[in-house]
Structures are given as structure tokens and as C-alpha cells.
């Protein structure tokens, strides 16, 4: 499990813009935190968990985020993961594993927000990576997070093209659309990419991966 900050309204250089006036504007700094987790072979990807400042953004009102896009949403004052939110997420994951009769090992970064002392887990064992090893040992940091952001950019540009050819003026991305594209992109990342990222860290060997797949 890992988290990444994502500026979802940032425009790519050379991207299609219907209104030329938009090109002179400063880049938006609207940010959302995305939490993602998957097993080593990429066959069990947990729903993306989004964190933003607003408790109920306008575009999420009267929507069932989990039912509509297969994701979950919460808020904190600065849109960062906090211990209380982390524990809530862990308890929901533990309950799911309990209902499915499964026991899992969860790898997380060694950061202050990942304090699981307040909760008791029956079906999830937490293992924190050693300090300052995230870049080398966290599978999500190998290429999975980058692949997710690349998928998002592609879906965003596709949507802009559809609007252009439909004669609809392009507007800045609302949070629901951003979450939808990220969730779709999460499902589109190839299992091969995920497996390679896990093997690259040495957490799972190629021999172990072959055993998991067979």
C-alpha cells in the first residue's frame, strides 16, 4: 500500500485546449491524495482510496462513489493521509478479509501517519519497510504509480478530444471525473507491469511469482 499526491487539473504541454485563453493561465495546484494497494500478481487490486480537503465536493453530492466508480473517498484538513484515516482504512480492509476468510501481509512505508497501534487486526498483518528504503523496496514506487498517472493523462486527453469534436467547450476537471479516470486507469494497468514491479524490488522473486501464478 502506498500513497501519492496528484495534481489532477494540471495540463500537459502541447495538450489540446479549445480556448486559447486557457494557455496563458497558471497551472492549477488542486491536489488529491491517492492510496493504492495490490497483491503481487496484480489480480487483487483494492479500490483506490481518495483523500481531499472538502468533505463532500460539489461533483460528489448525491453520488455513491463506491458503486459508480469502485473507489472510496474521505477528507482531511490538508488532503494528506492522517493516522485516524489510515486506521479507518485498515479496519475496512480487515473486515473485508475476515468476511472472505483470508489473511494477508500488507507492506507500508515507515511514516508517522502509518501508526496502526490504535487498531487490532485479525486478518491483516502489517509490515513497515525500513526507513529510507521506499524508493528501492516499495513496489508501487517502481512504476505502478507512474503507470497510473500515465493512464489518467491518456483518459483525460481522450475526454478533451471527445468534447472538442462534439463542440463542447472544455472546462477544468472536476473531482468526480478525476477519480473516475484514475479508477479506470487503475484497472487498465497490466498485470505484467505490476508483477515486474514487485519482482524488481526483490520482495518477490521470479521463482516465487511463477509459483503464485501456477
Cα–Cα distance between 163 and 72 in angstroms, integer? 27
pLDDT digits (tens), the chain, 214 positions = 999 999 988 876 655 554 555 555 566 678 899 999 999 999 999 999 999 999 998 989 999 999 999 999 999 999 999 999 999 999 999 999 999 999 999 999 999 999 988 899 999 999 999 988 988 999 999 899 999 999 999 999 988 888 777 777 777 789 999 999 999 999 999 999 999 999 989 887 766 666 666 5
Phi–psi pair at 186, nearest 5 degrees: -60, -40
Q: What is the predicted pLDDT for the residue at 159? A: 87
State how far the alpha carbon of 209 is from the alpha carbons of 16, 22, 190, 197, in Å. Answer: 41, 48, 15, 11
Beta bridge partners of 108: 128
Whole-structure pTM value: 0.86
107-117 pLDDT tens trace: 999 999 999 88
pLDDT for the residue 113: 93
Report how far residue 198's alpha carbon sits from residue 141's, in angstroms, rounded to the nearest whole number.
10
- Position 197 scores a pLDDT of 93
Give the whole-angstrom CA distance, residue 175 versus residue 98. Answer: 32
Q: What whole-number percentage of the chain has pLDDT above 70?
A: 87
DSSP structure string for the chain:
-EEEEEETTPPPTT---SSGGGGGSPPP--EEEEEE-B-TTSS-BPPPEEEES-SS-GGGTT--HHHHHS-EEEE-TTSS--HHHHHHHHHHHHHHHHHHT--EEEEE---TT---TT---SSEEEEEPPTT-HHHH-GGGTTHHHHHHHHHHHHHHHHHHHHHHTTPPP-PPPHHHHHHHHHHHHHHS-HHHHHHHHHHHTSS-HHHHHHHH-
pLDDT of residue 24: 54
pLDDT for position 117: 86
pLDDT of the residue at 18: 45
Mean pLDDT of the chain: 88
Amino acid 161: pLDDT: 87
The residues pairing with 3 across neighbouring beta strands, listed in sequence order, are 35
pLDDT at 10: 80
Rg (CA), the chain: 19
Amino acid at each position: 500500500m502506498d500513497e501519492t499526491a496528484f495534481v489532477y487539473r494540471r495540463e500537459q504541454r502541447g495538450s489540446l485546449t479549445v480556448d486559447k485563453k486557457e494557455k496563458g493561465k497558471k497551472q492549477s495546484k488542486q491536489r488529491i491524495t491517492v492510496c493504492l494497494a495490490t497483491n503481487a500478481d496484480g489480480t487483487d487490486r483494492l479500490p483506490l482510496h481518495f483523500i481531499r480537503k472538502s468533505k463532500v465536493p460539489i461533483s460528489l453530492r448525491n453520488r455513491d462513489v463506491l458503486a459508480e466508480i469502485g473507489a472510496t473517498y474521505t477528507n482531511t484538513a490538508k488532503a494528506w493521509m492522517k493516522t485516524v484515516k489510515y486506521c479507518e482504512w485498515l479496519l475496512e480492509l480487515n473486515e473485508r478479509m475476515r468476511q472472505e476468510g483470508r489473511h494477508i501481509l500488507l507492506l507500508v512505508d515507515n511514516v508517522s501517519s502509518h501508526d496502526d497501534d490504535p487498531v487490532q487486526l485479525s486478518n491483516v498483518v502489517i509490515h513497515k519497510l525500513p526507513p529510507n528504503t521506499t524508493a528501492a523496496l516499495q513496489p508501487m514506487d517502481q512504476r505502478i504509480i507512474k503507470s497510473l498517472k500515465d493512464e489518467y493523462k491518456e483518459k483525460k486527453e481522450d475526454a478533451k478530444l471527445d468534447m472538442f469534436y462534439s463542440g463542447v467547450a472544455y472546462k477544468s476537471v472536476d473531482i468526480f471525473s478525476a477519480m473516475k479516470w484514475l479508477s479506470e486507469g487503475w484497472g487498465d494497468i497490466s498485470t505484467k507491469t505490476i508483477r515486474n514491479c514487485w519482482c524488481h524490488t526483490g520482495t518477490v522473486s521470479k521463482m516465487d511469482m511463477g509459483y503464485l501464478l501456477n
